Structure 1
Amino acid sequence: MAVVQGGVRGLLQRRGLGQLPLTRLGSNLPPLEGSKEGLELYELKELIGRGSSGRVFRAVRKEDKLQVAIKLMGPDVDGGCAKHRQEFEIMKGVCHPNLLQALDYFQHPCGSALVLSYIPSVTLTAAVRSTTHKHTTSTTFLSEGKAKSLFRMLLDALSYLHHRRIIHSDVKSDNVLVASDLSSLHLTDFGSSRTLRTGDIPVTSTTINFSAPEVLAGEMPSEKHDVWGAGLCLYFMLLGRLPRTVTAYPGFEDFCDAVQAEAVKTSGEAWQAVSDECKAVIRHCLALDKADRPAAMVILEMSWLRCPEDRSGRRFSAPSTCGLKASGNETGNISSSSGDRAGALGTIEIGHQERKPAAVSIDVGSFRDTKHVMAKLLPIREGMHLSEGEA
């Protein structure tokens, strides 16, 4: 496989290459245990979501009338379904109140299907854009108290995943589901996630507007990349927009230069109503150097998030149950050797075992009306790709 040096800059010199095959996953996955009857067990209802890897429908399990969400996916780029199977393998081993539960997986003639717990919700993107802040009519964003509550839930989910050596890799507002009253949050879409278990070969994708500086420079996403995405979600909840989008720059390279060199600002008129403690959290999450970006567990202990109340005095409470159970490891109890809060490892390192080259694709999203502009599938460096398709 050709190697392009210099991260995104090298990619820009290779835009005419067209598509290259992705590395096939799943050589070490256990035998398929999903339902052999497949879709016959479910009654499909309305379409509730659409992503780069497929469509999501609300469905009812015929046996007990349980409402579920079914993600129907076509084959991988190489014609197989190993990537989708690995998404199920990762999801079925986790149980957390802010993560959806994977209930089943099966293959069908046109690809594969992932059955998930169903929770009535909207994306964080839609929720923020439909909420007008009481202090202004010119922009849409959430109050600091609401943003704090949701952000804490998002960090709780990331701390849990990182403790289990799982990196989501595509934390963005479109992959965060919230209740209509903003009382609950669920991180979803593990199609880009990677686990650091021995033998796994990660194939990862991430959205360009939510990509950390080091990822734009050619590094594989790490837990610090997830923290960057969470910080941008908090920024978006407060201001109703992102600090930067690729469509606002003359070219893709100009956008990358800005992300890698210019710190995100938390000053000016738009920030006057935001507390200094909240702005400090954002600056930590969006530190340009990943070494200066704390782990999710550490951010949860910062003063702004330790406070159990918002300015109105209303106390926050997190859900206490995981909801529907899935097959595999169903424990919701985790521990941390570095503190009382179950959370993330400070740094996750890949061992020295021999691996085949990993692969990553970057979703070039415009973040404009949830539409996404995609570039060709081109190598950024060995094991990294920019993919073409809808988000």
Structure 2
Amino acid sequence: MRQDGFWRSLRTAACMALALSPLPGCSETTDEPGESAGGLPKQRIVSADFLEQKLSVLDYQQVIAGPGSAADVTAKTIDLAAYAPGPLQLELTPDGERALVAVGPGFYDSLGVLFGFPDVSGDGALLIVDLNDDSVSSVPTASAPMGVAITPDGRYGLSANFGTKTAGGSTLTRVDLETQSVVEEVDVGGSPEQVRLFDGSLGLLNTASEGGVRRFDPADVEGSLSGVAPTSADPSDIAFVSATRAVVIDSRNVAGYSVVTLDDSDPGITVVEQVPTDGLPYGICHIPGTSEVLVGIATGTPTKVLRVDVGSTPSTEVTSYELGNTESTFVINVSCSPDGKFAFAPIPNQNALAVIDLETNGVHQITGWTHSAPTYVGVFLGQ
């Protein structure tokens, strides 16, 4: 963690005390360049540090600058040791001030041992975490959460409640983030893993046990939930490319991805292309401002990320990026920066964050986590 906070505070106090005759370097604002008024980096990455049971707030500019240590790019950490097994996934509010955090084992409690994970256990929890004051609120869900999403206005959060190996889940929970209360909990089918939103009126979720995806309106999940559109034996992460086009990861039978078009019918989801991949995929993100997506291959030494243009049929693989890990792992997340310039892939067990420069195609790592972390990141570049 950075140790310059004391000196920054001391200089700020001196500037304020000498406001009528300021010291050199003092200005009308006392914020350091690159920092928010609350002390958070103005541009930041928040990582879910799974079995380390904490969140880390990282300085975005330091992360993208080149290889380095997690300790050197971390502005602060937030302890979540009271919630087992640890934070698996998260989503940031549009203002970057809070995180909706899914604490749960996901499928690591049953499959993790195959990919080098230690024993993973715990009942899980859905948390709302204030990144400024570190306060944590828990919101009840029917089962352990896994995938989470937040509406563009920051009012509601959604949680896909996958459950655990001994208590499987089947619900999607909508939460009011202001009142920190459950608005609705809807049965959506067995083993929902991921939920994604395009805007305030369009969402998609996967139901792994039913082999497909469903669409819904985030303002009324129960009243708008579509039927299941089959994609594969094990649908996983989802990325919207536009209001009428999305990509669903197929983790099994056959491993690859499905490109789907969207309309207002029921289910309103049509598979237009299914593409196999060399390796088991899971995470995906859309590169803003393009028709391209990044498809994460979850396993392998090294694992890799595929860059694919899905703007037309057939889709086209543009390039691929090796992440550089030497340890067995299962990568569940690829996050694209809002400006479309970088992408980030957490590599648990390697205990590293891979950083992909989408303009130069270079890849470097931030290393130094110690215990199956991180598993997920959220990126905030400002409003």
Which TM-score bucket, shorter chain as reference?
under 0.3
- Hey, which of these two has a bigger chunk of strand by percent? 2
TM-score, structure 2 normalization:
0.27
TM-score when normalising by structure 1: 0.26
